[in-house]
Structure 1
Amino acid sequence: MTREWRKISKAEKDIIRPFIAEVPVRIATMARELGLEVKSATLRPRISGQIQPSSDSPSGFRIRVNRHEAKTRQRFTIAHEIAHYLLHRDFIGDGIEDTILYRSTLSDPREAEANRMAAQLLMPEPTIISSFRRHGGRATPNVAAIMAEEFDVSEAAMRIRIGLS
């Protein structure tokens, strides 16, 4: 169990668990089940996503993701914004805008936490281990590419997750 996972409530874990048992993780549906509104939008250049207060959503927050970015980046952005909601909602204030490097006005430790949690949500450890073994148990560029497609994430994200980068 990771440090980030220990920080979220039992109720939130109960919502998340069924989603992380399937690959690829249905991240937008998970967000909605957590009460987050998810919208595709045209955002300013170099902005991948944002989370901001919204009186229209059950949780009180809305995620906007840049519609002009690759689908795998949009999925990671949604997971990253979910992580901010789960871990940092007391710090969201008027909203958090994340750049293409997943940097925001929050401190770097919180951004690193959100990135780790996003990776855990999209590429859960048990399914990563199972897939890794099924594909030969060696971290190679080819295995990263195959697993990236299986998990519907970028090759860069998968390389980091399996220890190639």
Structure 2
Amino acid sequence: MKRFLLILRIPELRHSNLRAEKRVRILTDYSHRERISDKDFEILESFSSDIPVKVGALAEALGLKVMIATLPMNISGLIQPETDGHFVIKVNRFESKERQRFTIAHEIAHYLIHRDKIDAGVVDSVLYRSKLSSRTEAEADRLAADIVMPRQAVAGAVRKQGGNRSEQVVQDLATAFGVSKQAMAIRVG
């Protein structure tokens, strides 16, 4: 896996309170980097400098339209081509903001590394399962996690807490990164 130097803004955490942002130089790993075009990677990289990553703006910069939609309760989101050749991501309006952010990142991941498999569209259930293989969905999950929770940014934030991974620190990190507590707990290990 290649490493790429990025500058990220991550909130400084002290005593479980979020403080002013501090610029930090870090190395970030992206799953499946070799399958992302250089042009798309430059765009991805340019949105990775702020935490939380602005996934809606990232999608737009990639030429994707994002819509909050009324979808069946068992559907988190989908990506499908439009008649003009562009792609649209639809996200279930009834899910939490954190879940919506991860779903957008998951659909962006499909676009970046599975564009050739999207065909008429990919509909992801609440378990992020679709007509695509489990491996394909797992790849999209990994890249989505890398987009919304860059490994090195999370590691740097944990180091600022002296390696503390208490429930409160995990919750504070989840809030700072705009993800669920469960997702952050998995990321910090």
Kept in 1: contact 2:106–2:140 (CA 8 A): yes
Give the whole-Å Cα distance in 1 for the aligned partners of 2:178 and 2:45.
18
From 20, 27, 48, the equivalent of 2:55 is 27
Kept in 1: contact 2:31–2:146 (CA 8 A): no
Aligned partner of 1:105 in structure 2 is 131
Kept in 1: contact 2:107–2:140 (CA 8 A): yes
For residues 105-143 of structure 1, the C-alpha deviation after alignment (integer angstroms, 9 at most, x for no partner) is 100000000000000000112211211111221323222
Q: CA deviation at 1:92?
A: 0.7
Q: TM-score, normalised by structure 1?
A: 0.93
Give the whole-Å Cα distance in 2 for the aligned partners of 1:55 and 1:123.
33
Kept in 2: contact 1:52–1:95 (CA 8 A): yes
Task: Compute the RMSD of aligned alpha carbons.
Answer: 1.2
Q: Secondary structure at the match of 1:131?
A: helix
Kept in 2: contact 1:132–1:138 (CA 8 A): yes
Aligned partner of 1:67 in structure 2 is 93
Determine what percentage of the aligned residue pairs are the same residue: 47
Q: Secondary structure at the match of 2:90?
A: strand
Give the whole-Å Cα distance in 2 for the aligned partners of 1:135 and 1:152.
19
Aligned partner of 2:69 in structure 1 is 41
Counterpart amino acid of residue 114 in structure 1: A
Question: Which consecutive residues of structure 2, in runs of 5 or more, have no partner in the other structure?
Answer: 3-29
Question: Which consecutive residues of structure 1, in runs of 5 or more, have no partner in the other structure?
Answer: none
Aligned partner of 1:153 in structure 2 is 179
- Give the helix-richer structure, 1 or 2: 1
Q: TM-score, normalised by structure 2?
A: 0.82
Q: Secondary structure at the match of 2:140?
A: helix
Q: CA deviation at 1:102?
A: 0.7
Counterpart amino acid of residue 119 in structure 1: A
Q: Secondary structure at the match of 1:44?
A: coil
- Give the strand-richer structure, 1 or 2: 2
Q: Secondary structure at the match of 2:32?
A: helix
Tell me which stretches of 4 or more aligned residues in structure 1 moved more than 3 Å.
none
